[in-house]
Amino acid sequence: MSFKSALESGKFTVTAEVGPPKGTDIKKILHEAGMLKGKVDALNVTDNQSAVMRINSMSFCKLLLDMGQEPILQMTCRDRNRIGLQSDLLGASILGIKNVLCMTGDHPNAGDHKEAKPVYDIESVQLLQVVDGLNNGRDLMGNDLQGATDYYQGAVVTPEANPIEPQMMKFEKKVKAGAKFFQTQAIYDIDKFKVFMSDARKFPVKILAGLVLLKSAGMANFMNKFVPGITVPQELIDELKAAGKEKALDKGIDIMARHIRQLKDENICDGVHIMAIGAEDKVPAIMERAGLL
Amino acid sequence: MIITKKRDFKDLMENLRNYKSFFLIGCSECASLCGTGGEPELAAMKEALEAEGKTVTGTLLPKTGCQTLGTKIELKKDKEACAKAEAIIVMSCGAGTQSAVEIFPDKPVFPSNDSLFLGNMTRFQMFDERCSLCGKCVLDKTGGICPVTACPKGLLNGPCGGTDNGKCEVSPDIECAWVRIYERMKKTDQLEDFKKVLEPKDWSASRKPATLNTRDKKEEKK
Ligand code: SF4
Ligand code: SF4
C-alpha cells in the first residue's frame, strides 16, 4: 500500500527518517534502509538537514525507489530559488517520487557552510502552493505545464512552539496552501500533544507525531536547552538516568515504543514519524516493542 | 540613514601607497551621525595622514555627499586645493564616494569607510537595520514590522520552527520577527490580516542597478 493510501485508509502509518551521508559511501545507509523494508510505510529523506551539506534528497529517494521502498522527498527553501525548486519537483516526479515534505529549512548559520548565501526566495507556505499548482498543471507564474505532477504533499508543525498562536496560524495557512499531511516536531508529552491534536483535528489533514529516539539523559537535557520547540519532561529524563549509561538507549527505545502504543491505542493521531538520528538500526526494535510488527 | 564603519587604517594606507597628496571629503548627513565622516573625523584623518608623511591639500564637509550636483557646486571654492591633490579620499558611504568619482573623472578616489546598511539610529551611534529597500513594501500587511529585514530568512507567512520563546533560531540576540509581528498585530487588532497568505515576493522590484526619474513623468504630463 502506498504511503498516501495507508494514511487515507485510516491505517496507523509509520515513517522513519533517513539522512543521506556526507560523501559518496552509502553502504551503511543502504543497509539500514534495507532493514526497514516492509516494516515502515515510507522513508523520509532529509534535505541537507541542519544546513549541513550532504548527498541531496532526490538522489537517495531514487535509490530507495529502486530498492522497492517508498520515499518522501524533503524539500527546503534554503538552497534553491523558485526556478530550482520547481525544476527539481518536476525532476523528482519523473523519477517516480510521489511524496514531498515542504519546509523552510534551517538557516545556513546552523550548519557547516555558515558563509553560504541563504536563498529563501519562497518559503514553506508558498512552496506548498507551488506543489499544488504543479499538481494542477501550472507553474508559479501560471504557465501551463506539459504534464502535471501528482504529489502527495505535506508540511511540518511544532506542537510545542512558544508562543503557539502564530505557529497554529501558520499551520492553518499550510492547510489552506494544500498540505495533506503533517509531520510534527518531536513530542514527548502525550497529554500536551492531545491538546494540540484537538485543535489540529478540526482540519482535513493527516497528522504524524514526530518522535525522536532518546539515547541518554544527556541528549534529553541537550535538546531541552538547545533545540527550539522540543521539551523532554523531567520524568523521562529521570527514567533514562535510572536505567544507567549502558541501558539508556534500551530505555529510550522503551519510551518511544510506549508512546507509539498510546498514540495508536487511544487513536490520538494518524501515525508516527520516527527519527532515530544515527540509530536507524533500532527502528525495527522500536516497532516490535510498540506492537506494530 | 546609510550606516558606515571606518575601514582599517592600514588597508587604507595600502591603497594610498602610490600617492602623496590628498583632498578629503566627508558628509554632514549620515556619515557625521555615524562618526565616520564628520568634522572631527576629517580633522583626525588629516592628522593621521600627515603623521604618515602625506600631505592634505584641503577638506570639505559637503551638505549631502550623495547629492552629486550639490557637492560639485560646493567643491568649486576648493578648486585649487583639489587640483593640487593626487587623489581624493571620501569619508562617507559608497554613494558619496561615487559622487566624487563622477566629479573627478581623472583622479583616483578611495573610500575610507565600509557601507553597511540602511539603518535607524536607536541611540547615539547605535544603529539597527529595519528596511532593506526591497522595492515592494509589505509593511501594510505585517503590522509595520519588516520581516524581509528583521527575519534572517525573510519569511512572509509566520514564524519558522526555529522560533524559541520569542528568540530567533539564528541567534539569541535576535528577537523573532514573526513573534514581534504577531504580538503587535494582536495589540492593534489586525490578526485577521496575519492569517492571510502572502504571495511570493516580486524580487524584480529590487533589481540592480535601480534608477528612478520622477522629473520626466511630471514633464510628460505637461
Ligand atoms: S518590505 Fe521592503 S520596503 Fe518595506 S520595510 Fe521591508 S525591505 Fe523596506
Ligand atoms: S526564528 Fe523567527 S526571525 Fe528567526 S528565522 Fe525563524 S521566523 Fe525568522
Domain residues of chain B, as ranges?
A: 2-117, 134-206
Q: What is the mean pLDDT of residues B99-118?
A: 98
Tens digits of residue pLDDT in A171-212: 999 999 999 999 999 999 999 999 999 999 999 999 999 999
β-pair type (B2-6, B21-25): unpaired
Q: Ligand 2: distance of its center to the CA of B163 in Å? A: 6
**Interface mutation vs chain A, best among B138, B157, B174, B207, most A CBs within 10 Å:** B157
For residue B125, the model assigns a pLDDT of 86
Paired with B88 in beta bridges are B23, B109
Domain boundaries, given as residue ranges, for chain A: 3-215+270-280
Model confidence band, residue B182 (pLDDT cutoffs 50, 70, 90): very high
pLDDT at B50: 98
A109–B152: do the CB atoms touch at under 8 Å? Answer: yes
Residue of minimum CA distance from atom 2 in ligand 2: B176
Ligand 1 binding pocket includes B139 (Cβ within 6 Å):
yes
What pLDDT is attached to residue B215?
A: 87
CB of B174 closer than 6 angstroms to any ligand 1 atom: no
DSSP result, chain B: -EEEEEPPHHHHHHHHTT--EEEEE--SSHHHHHTSSSHHHHHHHHHHHHHTT-EEEEEE--S-TT-HHHHHHHHGGGHHHHHH-SEEEE-S-HHHHHHHHHH-TTS-EEESEEEEEEEEEEETTEEEE-----SS--GGGTTT--HHHHSTT--SSS--TT-BTTB-SS-TTSBPHHHHHHHHHHHTT-HHHHTSPPPPP-GGGG-SS----HHHHHHHH-
In this prediction the ipTM stands at 0.94
Asked if the model's pLDDT at residue B115 lies above 90, the reply is yes
B86 pLDDT exceeds 80? yes
Q: Which has the closest alpha carbon to A149: A206, A103, A91, A62?
A: A91
For the domain with range B2-117, which CATH number is right: 3.40.50.2300, 2.60.40.10, 3.30.1490.20, 3.10.510.20? 3.40.50.2300
Does residue B56 surpass a pLDDT of 80?
yes
**pTM for this predicted structure:** 0.94
Q: Count how many residues are written for chain A.
A: 293
Residue B222, pLDDT > 80, answer: no
The contacts of residue B89 (CB under 8 Å, 6+ apart) are B12, B16, B22, B23, B24, B25, B45, B109, B110, B111, B112
Cα–ligand 1 centroid distance for B146 (angstroms): 6
Residue with cell 519588516: B146
Task: Tell me what the mean pLDDT of segment B13-31 comes to.
Answer: 97
Evaluate if residue B218 carries a pLDDT over 80. no
- Taking CB atoms and an 8 Å limit, are B161 and A156 in contact across chains? yes
The residue ranges of chain A whose pLDDT is under 70 are: none
Contact state of B157 with A185 under an 8 Å Cβ cutoff: no
Q: Is residue B114 within 8 angstroms of chain A, CB to CB?
A: no
What is the spatial distance between Cα B44 and Cα B61, in angstroms, rounded to a whole number?
14
CA distance B25 to chain A (A): 34
Q: What is the pLDDT of residue A183?
A: 98
Decide if A118 and B191 are in contact by the 8 Å CB cutoff: no
User: Per CATH, which fold does A3-215+270-280 belong to?
Assistant: TIM Barrel (3.20.20)
Task: Please indicate whether residue B163, judged by its CB atom, sits closer than 6 Å to ligand 2.
Answer: yes
Is residue B70 exposed (0-12), middle (13-18) or buried (19+ Cβ within 10 Å)?
middle
Residue A21 CA, distance from chain mean position: 17
Q: What is the mean pLDDT of residues B171-188?
A: 97
Which residues of chain B neighbour A172 with C-beta distances below 8 Å? Answer: 195
